[in-house]
Structure formats: structure tokens, C-alpha cells
Structure 1
Amino acid sequence: MAEHLEGRQASPQALETIAKYFPVALVEDAFFQTAHDTLQELGFKRDNTFVLVNTCRDELARPISHFFDKHYGHTFNLSGISGIITAGTLGFIAATSHAPTNPDGRDKYVFIGATHTAVDENGKEGAVVREGQGSVSNACGAIEAILGEIHAGTQQNGTIREDNVEYDTLKKKIFAKNLPAHPTNFDLTKITAQAITHTIEDHIAKTVDPTKSDYAVIVGVQIHAGVKAGLWTPESVIDYFAPVTSYTVIKGVKHELKVEGKKLVVA
């Protein structure tokens, strides 16, 4: 466990929970730094690549966007609650049209997707204390709300309401899966990450021509495990990232990426 989870460490109980349910999790900034370095080696550089970031709208999710803005310049924001994408094909067409012009005529994209959860110092899944609040709340709040509906037997998976499009879309995607008899926050979080992958891949198939473009897809679960010394700064937030899907498609050839030790490498 220790080789995967080092740097700004969470409590031993939190680390135990993370290692049990997300065995390939890395400290978040360490994961994205190694992802950045690997993508650089594969030709995805700041001056030739356009990055599309899709996380939850929650303020807790911001470190991912912050990292890619810092390393790639301005990124395109596709974020929705729990990381569910509702921009549609038109949104992807708009986003991909912003790619820089490259001398070789090939566009380059990096698609980042993440849902999120949390674990407190006692190892309880889904629990987090947000900045300025003294009481425990949940991450992701929408997933916890759906979990509450499931456990109470009150869930409704009917027509999407105009005033609640994202929440109802998330429910439809979760209920489309074979759920465990008594699902947990982590169960629904992992299903949401899978749904994000499928949505991104579906939109890529409709909007990106692999004969003219190269791209990378990295989707996973962002895990909030508190802050160091009570400070809400980028240097003090204790987050981890567990990749669910990671690969590149270069000149039409797919290359899987995997966590090996502390690095994301070509499989």
C-alpha cells in the first residue's frame, strides 16, 4: 500500500479503506504528474494538445482542473454533477474545434473524466468536512442522495425532469447497471466512473476522426481524504486518484496505460 500512497498522507484508517477498495490509487498530484510526463513522451505537449476536463462541479474537484490549466493552459470545462456529461455531441464538437493547429495536420486531445468520493479519518466512505463547515457532509452529494433513495426504496427512474436533468441522468445511468443488493457509496461511485468512460467514448466516436487526430482518455475516481493542518490550499489538500480507464489512440492504434509502481506507463 505505501508505495502507492505517499506524499501528503491521510490517516492510517483512511489509507486502509482506500487501499482496500481502490488498490491502484495514487496521491492525486503524483498521479497526474506521471500521467502528464507519460503523455509528453507520447507527443501530447502543451503547445500541440487541447485538454477537455470533466469532473464534478463540486469545489472539492477543482484540483484536477487546476493541474491541467497549469500544465496545458486553458482547458475546456465539460463538468457536471458527479462528473456526468450533459454537454452532448454539440458540446464535444465545440470543444474539439478549439484544438491548436499542428504542422503535421493531426489534432491532439486529452480527455479527462472523474467522479469523486471521500473517506474520513476513521475510514468511513463518502464522508468529508468541507472548508468552513464543522459538520460532516458527503461526496458525492448526488450519489449519496441516490444511495438514500435506493436504501429507502423510494427511487424513481422515470422521465427526466427539466429542473433536474443532471441528477436524473445520473440516476438513469446508475440504474441501468446490475446493482448489488445493498450498494455502498463506493459501488455507485465506480459505476458512475464507468458511465463517464462510456459517455466520453461515445462522443469521441461521433466527433473525433482517428485518421486525423490522436487522443488520450483518462477516467477515474477522485478520493478526498481531508486536508493537512486544516489548511485548504493546493499544497494541503489530501486527495487520491484511482484510474478506471486510461489509454491513448495514436495514428489509429490504441495503447493501454497502466499504473506500475508509482507511474502511469504504456502497458
Structure 2
Amino acid sequence: MQPHHNVSGAAADSLSSQDISTSEASTYYNIEANGARFPQEKVRGYAEVAYLTGRTKIVANEFPTALGIDDFLHRLEIALYAYGFNGDNAIAMVNLCRDEITVSLKVKIDQVFGSSFNTNGLGGVLTCGVTGVAAGLSHAPVSSGSGKERYVFFSFPHISIDARGEVGTISRPGRPGSSCACGALHQALIDIKSQGLSTSCKIPGVHEPLDPEFTILKQRLARRLRYDGVDDNAVANLNLVDITRVAERTIADDLDYLISHTVDPKKADYAVVTGVQIHNWGTRFDDESPNLEFVAPQSVYVVVNGEKTHLDLNAMPSLTPRQVRILAGKSEGGDARSRGADDVVCNSAGTSTLREIDPPYLYNSRDIRKRQKERVETYADLITEEGLSPDTTCPWPSWQSTLRNTKSVKEDESSRNNSAVHFDSKFSSVDELDELWTRLQSKYYGEPRPSNSDGESD
């Protein structure tokens, strides 16, 4: 692990404690570097670094290994390249939560490894099974020399920690108040606390027809907690950070198990990267706080020629802010000054280099909202200045009448009973299934098994 620094060395070195008068003490920021305190006008030279370091500390309090998302991908690319993995010869298998805000990580992965195969599920739960994983592996490039395939597996549940350190809260565009991330993990924790571990530990393969993914997520978490020796009293004290860590361990184990059933180490090399994606956004979507993304790697390893090697990304140096800006500009389809050179913050933050990202809302980014607000104010002034008399009523378009269906449509009542869910619910009451359910209950919960016709237990 790299040592933590208060401020950037280059910024701090330019400030001399000899230049500071003790009479200026009232103007000091609460920032120290190399044992010296500096007045406001001198602190401005590294205020950006100090701010980013403070934001990093908020995230690191919960996830000590967290790295800026750009820094994380750059380190990972270098590390995997040393073991023969790159965007030309490997396919990325990406497992994230279905939440649209996780797209920022997928986009970064795709910029390194090309279009990825996704196995996403609510909360990051893996429900694709061996068939889903095998489908993705069958799309991998094949080495013309060795005939080998290469895969890079990514798996990350996610969590939000806003600029003020509030865990779980996140502001989404066009939606008042705060939202939650991860909402699925948050609700799963609420249900497990209220229903208890035993009730939440469903028999494997059993789920709600209308809510399969969430049911599977919740029971996987509950069974993991029970396996870890956690009881209902301990569950009552768990928070969102705790359940996110449990989800990471659970999903990582599930991924390893699926890999063992789908990958032949004699025919393919592969890498596995697991951890937690962290959204460190401003408290309001369009406020002045930069939206930062972190990744806290938990397990990174490669299997090359059947030999497993664990990698420590935190032991690697981070790229400089200049390097990150250049690579970010190139990956976004422009030159080094296309987007991130001047108007987007990118600087050292102690153990990592951070760069602001725009949340993955193409229709509603913070910059777009600012420009819209500026246009509204400008046009409001121009209406008066130019003496315009706008018509504030807009007639319906004439073509809209051709779209309206004025006929009364009576719903076919029989169609309500034609769904697969309806068939499943009817089938679930069959005597044969009731007997099977009793046997499964006995296996997993230790209840007495029914006796057969000879009076003996099966």
C-alpha cells in the first residue's frame, strides 16, 4: 500500500513556511503540508488537490483500497498486459448491477478491452448460469499462434457515498430528493432484517415467479450470512456497507464456481477482477461538486498456463494527472484537449489520481442542464429587448389525430390466464410438487420427512 500524503508534493514544495507571518494565522485554511500552515492565497495553489484528497478520504473510510476509476483501469491494464491480456486477444465478461449509473464502469472497461459480454443482475447477482457464461466465452478471440482464448472476468456490486459522506444516497437527474444505490441491496437487507435469516434462506432453485432476480439475490445473501455464522441479532446491526461487502464475497464465490464449470485452463488463460464500484457524486445532481467514481479492488488474479497468480493493484504507482487527461481525451474520441484538459478536474488525491466524470446520462448531463438554464435566462431577456410577443399556446399537431384510436377496446379476459406465471401458479398446487416441497424442507431445514406406505422414512 502506498503511503498517504496530505497534499501533492509539487504543490507543497512551492510553499515555504518562512514566507508566513504568524500574524496571518487567522487567514489560514485548516491544511498542513510538511509541518507548515499556509494562508489562503498560498493554499489556492493546491486547494484542488486538498479537496480531492478530502473526497478520497470519505470513500477510503469505508473502502480503504479504493482507487479513482481511471487510475484503477490504467493500473489494471498495465498489470494484465504483463501476463498477456489486452484488448486485441481477450474478451471482457462484465457483471455489474442493472442500475444505469454502473454504466460508467462498463464504458471504461470497454475502452480497454472492446465490447464486453454482460452478465448483469440486480445487485450484481449472477443468474446467467453456466450457459450464460459459456455463451460469452464462445465469443472470445482465438490466438492464431497458440490457439488459446483469453477472458477477463469483472464482478462488482456498487454503492453510493456522496460528497458529504452519506452512505447510500445519490441524486439522479429530474428526480427530486435523494435516491439510493444499491437499491436492491438496501431492500434485501431490510427484508432479511424483518423476515429473519431462516425465512430468507429459501431452498436453492426456489424463487418468486414475478420477482426471480431479487428473490435469488436475497436468498444468496441470507445463505452466505448464515454460512459466515451470522445470526439474526448480528443481522440487525448490519448496514449498507456491510451487506455490500457480503454481496461482493458471495458474487465473487459464485463467479469462481461458474468459471470452474465453464473454463478449461488447458485451453484458455483468464483473469478475475472483483471488488466494489463506488459513486462519490455531489449531493445534488447539478451542483458544483465534481462527480467522482471509485473502484475498490478486492481480488485480482490471473491464471496463465494453469498457474494462478494474485496481483496487488495498490502496490502499483498511479499515472500522473497529465497522463490520465491525455488518455481520457483519446478514449472519448478527441485529442488531449477534447474534454478533460481544462474544464474537468483531474489531479492527485494522495494514493490515487482522480478525474471527474460525467454521469452516464447522455440526455441530461450537468453541463447540458447548465447550458439550458443559461439559454432560458438569455431568451427571457431577449423577449423583452426585442419586443417579441410570443404565442404561449400550441395547437395539437394535425397528424396526431391519425394516431388516436377512438374504438373501444375490450380486454380479452381469457388472456389474463394465458401467462406462464399463471401456469406456474396452478402447477405449484399439484400434489406431486407438494410432496417434493416437503422433502426439500426436510433436507434444508431438518423437518421430519413423511413416511412411505411401509411406515419407513424415505
Normalising by the smaller structure, the TM-score range is 0.7 to 0.9
Work out whether residues 171 and 283 of structure 2, in 8 Å CA contact, stay in contact via their aligned partners in 1: no
> For the structure 1 residues 217 and 4, does the alpha-carbon distance in structure 2 shift closer, same or farther, using more than 3 Å as the test?
farther
In the other structure, the counterpart of 1:248 is 302
In the other structure, the counterpart of 1:83 is 124
Please state which structure has a larger fraction of its residues in strand: 1
> For the structure 1 residues 11 and 24, does the alpha-carbon distance in structure 2 shift closer, same or farther, using more than 3 Å as the test?
closer
In the other structure, the counterpart of 1:211 is 266
Query: Which residue identity does 1:132 align to in structure 2?
Result: G
Structure ranking higher on relative contact order (CA contacts 8 Å, 6+ apart): 1
Work out whether residues 225 and 239 of structure 1, in 8 Å CA contact, stay in contact via their aligned partners in 2: yes
Give, in whole Å, the separation in 1 of the partners of 2:53 and 2:89. Answer: 40
Give, in whole Å, the separation in 2 of the partners of 1:255 and 1:238. Answer: 31
Give, in whole Å, the separation in 1 of the partners of 2:179 and 2:106. Answer: 23
Measure how far apart 1:85 and its partner are.
1.0
Measure how far apart 1:153 and its partner are.
4.5
3-state DSSP of counterpart to 1:162: coil
Q: How many residues align?
A: 260
> For the structure 1 residues 262 and 29, does the alpha-carbon distance in structure 2 shift closer, same or farther, using more than 3 Å as the test?
same
In the other structure, the counterpart of 1:28 is 69
- State the identity as a percent: 30
Which residues of structure 1 form unaligned runs of 5+? none
In the other structure, the counterpart of 2:106 is 65
Q: Which moved more, 1:146-155 or 1:27-36?
A: 146-155
> For the structure 1 residues 261 and 252, does the alpha-carbon distance in structure 2 shift closer, same or farther, using more than 3 Å as the test?
closer
Query: Which residue identity does 1:223 align to in structure 2?
Result: I
Work out whether residues 128 and 138 of structure 1, in 8 Å CA contact, stay in contact via their aligned partners in 2: yes
Give, in whole Å, the separation in 2 of the partners of 1:35 and 1:5. Answer: 25
Measure how far apart 1:245 and its partner are.
1.4
> For the structure 1 residues 3 and 174, does the alpha-carbon distance in structure 2 shift closer, same or farther, using more than 3 Å as the test?
farther
> For the structure 1 residues 259 and 46, does the alpha-carbon distance in structure 2 shift closer, same or farther, using more than 3 Å as the test?
closer
> For the structure 1 residues 76 and 5, does the alpha-carbon distance in structure 2 shift closer, same or farther, using more than 3 Å as the test?
farther
Deviation track 1:12-68 (CA, whole Å, cap 9, x = no partner) reads 3x5444222211111112111210121122110111111111101101101111012
Which residues of structure 2 form unaligned runs of 5+? 9-47, 319-458
Give, in whole Å, the separation in 2 of the partners of 1:31 and 1:146. Answer: 29
Task: Note the aligned Cα RMSD (angstroms).
Answer: 2.7
Give, in whole Å, the separation in 2 of the partners of 1:11 and 1:41. Answer: 30
Measure how far apart 1:144 and its partner are.
0.8
Deviation track 1:146-205 (CA, whole Å, cap 9, x = no partner) reads 222244446742341121111111111111123434101011000101111111111110
Q: Which moved more, 1:112-121 or 1:149-158?
A: 149-158
Q: Tell whether 2:277 aligns with 1:222.
A: yes
Bigger Rg, which one: 2
Q: Tell whether 2:245 aligns with 1:190.
A: yes
- TM-score, normalised by the number of residues in structure 1: 0.88
> For the structure 1 residues 171 and 28, does the alpha-carbon distance in structure 2 shift closer, same or farther, using more than 3 Å as the test?
same
In the other structure, the counterpart of 1:258 is 312
